[in-house]
């Protein structure tokens, strides 16, 4: 490579973005490119690491010595290529990468589900001082707790259709702001009377009922298939951490500021989330003008493209035994789930004689167990599938554990005689309860919707989740009735019986194969 080499005795140079200082260079040879050396008399550019340094001639009468020489190439060509790649947005050269926008969407969905369960479980703590203040019977408490599910039931299928029609951003945003307002209005409604409280709790259920369909709609468009299990695991873990947060902070707020403060403070957080959501979220990568082209290409190329569903083959869907296995199993599963969600603090308070603060703190433990083990079941299920185990066998194994595990630990509650062992049983019950379903990357029930009917998985989720919500409505209200006329042992016996029914139905009729195109 030919070039010019020159001897500098009185030239100064300084790198850009560094305060200019004269550096004297004596008896040193520097290689420059032709374009660099031809920018003007007495000045040239050369590479210094990854910086470009500017040579500026000093006014001096000193003599300069020029010579044509052969020299080895300097690193400037590589540095220029590196800079050009950086300007073109190519991150394959080891430069820091921008945080993926799709994971911003995932984190926002995670935080929405965290708020969802925060606002849902605060009533299970606040109901204790509220019942004492208003002299509510256990039946009344059960009706108040179940009124949430009246609204929640109405928006399961409708929420999915709405999300598919107008976009997941609008639906999830509506849901969060709607249930946040209803949460703030709860203390006011309680003072006005039971009918107002029932209506406000049902309104809250309407807002939370659209959250899951809207989230599924958004993630199906934003997250590539290779990242979908991880993203769903993170979002669902937001529900468990929301329960932890709500149960942990509610006793403190009640003790310091009174029970209405729980609803006012938790509900107001939703408005902050809503402002961020409006600014950052889009229903689809195609709608986001700030999305980098390479990430958009990755998402669109890796995601499963689905033809729009123009009509629902209801007769075909409802004629398939695996569909009814989903519906029945979801009902049996959620009966125990929602009793755990709404009545556990009361159990700690009445049976174990914990005070309000202890009831909330110990109620946190099962949800911490769920959050900590949220990805374990999915990892086990995926490992089994990779090793050649059929999907049907994997689904049956995981859901059987999800039914028989909690059934076993509920039967032990009547035999333990110490609060510590009772708390341990409830925590283990929660952990096993979730191992076969949503907390473990949809390794049981929630995965099966996509297994048997990928194109209609949203409709199937709406159907089975409607059955699950009915379990919440009847189970929560029935628990209040049972407690007024029976005991906690009777409550647990009903749950155990339903777990056993679910186990039989699931193993007899479920499948991991596609049955509806």
pLDDT band at 360 (very low <50, low <70, confident <90, very high): low
**CATH code given to domain 99-305:** 1.20.1250.20
Per-residue confidence (pLDDT) for residue 72, from 0 to 100: 45
For 32, the 3-state DSSP assignment is: strand
Per-residue confidence (pLDDT) for residue 199, from 0 to 100: 96
pLDDT band at 19 (very low <50, low <70, confident <90, very high): very low
Higher-scoring residue by pLDDT: 204, 380: 204
Per-residue confidence (pLDDT) for residue 145, from 0 to 100: 86
Higher-scoring residue by pLDDT: 387, 253: 253
**CATH code given to domain 314-516:** 1.20.1250.20
pLDDT band at 44 (very low <50, low <70, confident <90, very high): very low
- Provide mean pLDDT across the span 373-387: 70
User: Could you tell me which residues come within 8 angstroms of residue 325 by beta carbon, excluding any fewer than 6 positions away?
Assistant: 505, 506, 508, 509, 510
Whole-number Å distance between alpha carbons of 280 and 31 = 49
388 to each of 190, 381, 384, 398, 507, how far by Cα in Å? 56, 11, 7, 16, 20
Per-residue confidence (pLDDT) for residue 22, from 0 to 100: 44
- Provide mean pLDDT across the span 141-159: 87
Flag the least confident range among 106-110, 151-155, 430-434. Answer: 430-434
Whole-number Å distance between alpha carbons of 286 and 176 = 24
For 250, the 3-state DSSP assignment is: helix
Could you tell me the two tokens for 374? Answer: 């949220």
- Provide mean pLDDT across the span 382-408: 81
Average confidence score pLDDT of the chain: 75
- Provide mean pLDDT across the span 178-199: 96
Q: pLDDT of 302-354, one tens digit each?
A: 655 455 567 778 899 899 999 999 999 989 988 887 777 677 777 777 777 77
Q: Is residue 116 predicted with pLDDT exceeding 90?
A: yes
Q: Is residue 163 predicted with pLDDT exceeding 70?
A: yes
Fold match flag (99-305 vs 314-516): yes
- Provide mean pLDDT across the span 235-244: 84
Could you tell me the two tokens for 79? Answer: 């540095």
Higher-scoring residue by pLDDT: 398, 25: 398
Task: Indicate the domain borders of the chain.
Answer: 99-305, 314-516
């Amino acid at each position: 490579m030919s070039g010019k080499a020159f001897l500098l005795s009185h030239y100064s140079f300084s790198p850009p973005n560094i305060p200019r200082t004269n550096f004297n260079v004596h008896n040193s040879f520097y290689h420059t490119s032709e374009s660099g050396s031809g920018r003007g008399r007495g000045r040239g550019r050369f590479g210094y690491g990854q910086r470009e340094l500017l040579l500026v001639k000093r006014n001096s009468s000193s003599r300069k010595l020029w010579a044509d020489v052969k020299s080895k190439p300097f690193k400037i060509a590589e540095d220029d290529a590196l800079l050009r790649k950086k300007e073109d947005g190519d991150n394959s050269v080891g430069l820091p990468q921008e945080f993926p926008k799709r994971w911003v969407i995932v984190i926002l969905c995670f935080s929405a589900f965290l708020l969802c369960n925060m606002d849902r479980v605060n009533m299970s703590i606040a109901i204790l001082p509220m019942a004492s203040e208003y002299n509510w019977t256990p039946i009344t408490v059960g009706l108040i707790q179940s009124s949430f599910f009246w609204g929640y039931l109405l928006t399961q299928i409708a929420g999915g259709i709405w999300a598919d029609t107008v976009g997941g951003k609008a639906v999830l945003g509506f849901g969060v702001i709607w249930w946040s307002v209803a949460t703030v209005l709860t203390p006011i409604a309680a003072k006005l009377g039971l009918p107002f409280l029932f209506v406000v709790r049902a309104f809250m259920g309407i807002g939370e009922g659209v959250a899951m369909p809207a989230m599924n709609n958004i993630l199906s468009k934003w997250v590539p298939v290779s990242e979908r299990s991880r993203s769903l695991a993170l979002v669902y873990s937001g529900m468990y951490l929301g329960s932890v947060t709500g149960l942990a902070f509610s006793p403190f707020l009640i003790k310091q500021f009174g029970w209405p403060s729980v609803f006012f403070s938790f509900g107001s957080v939703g408005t902050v989330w809503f402002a961020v959501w409006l600014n950052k979220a889009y229903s689809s990568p195609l709608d986001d003008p700030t999305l980098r082209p390479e990430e958009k290409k990755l998402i669109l190329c890796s995601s499963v493209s689905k033809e729009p569903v123009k009509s629902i083959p209801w007769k075909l869907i409802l004629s398939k035994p695996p569909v009814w296995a989903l519906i029945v199993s979801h009902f049996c599963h959620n009966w125990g789930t929602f009793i755990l969600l709404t009545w556990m603090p009361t159990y700690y308070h009445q049976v174990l004689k914990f005070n309000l603060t202890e009831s909330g703190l110990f109620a946190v433990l099962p949800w911490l167990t769920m959050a900590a083990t949220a990805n374990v079941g999915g990892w086990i299920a995926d490992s089994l599938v990779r090793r050649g185990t059929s999907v049907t066998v994997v689904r049956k194994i995981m859901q059987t554990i999800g039914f028989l595990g909690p059934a076993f630990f509920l039967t032990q509650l009547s035999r333990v005689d110490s609060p510590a062992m009772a708390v341990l049983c409830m925590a283990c019950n929660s952990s096993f309860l979730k191992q076969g379903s949503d907390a473990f990357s949809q390794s049981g029930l929630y995965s099966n919707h996509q297994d048997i009917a990928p194109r209609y998985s949203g409709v199937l989720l709406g159907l089975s989740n409607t059955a699950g919500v009915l379990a919440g409505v009847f189970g929560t209200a029935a628990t209040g009735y049972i407690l007024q006329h029976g005991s906690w042992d009777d409550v647990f016996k009903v749950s155990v019986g339903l777990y056993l029914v679910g186990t039989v139905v699931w193993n007899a009729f479920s499948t991991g194969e596609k049955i509806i195109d």
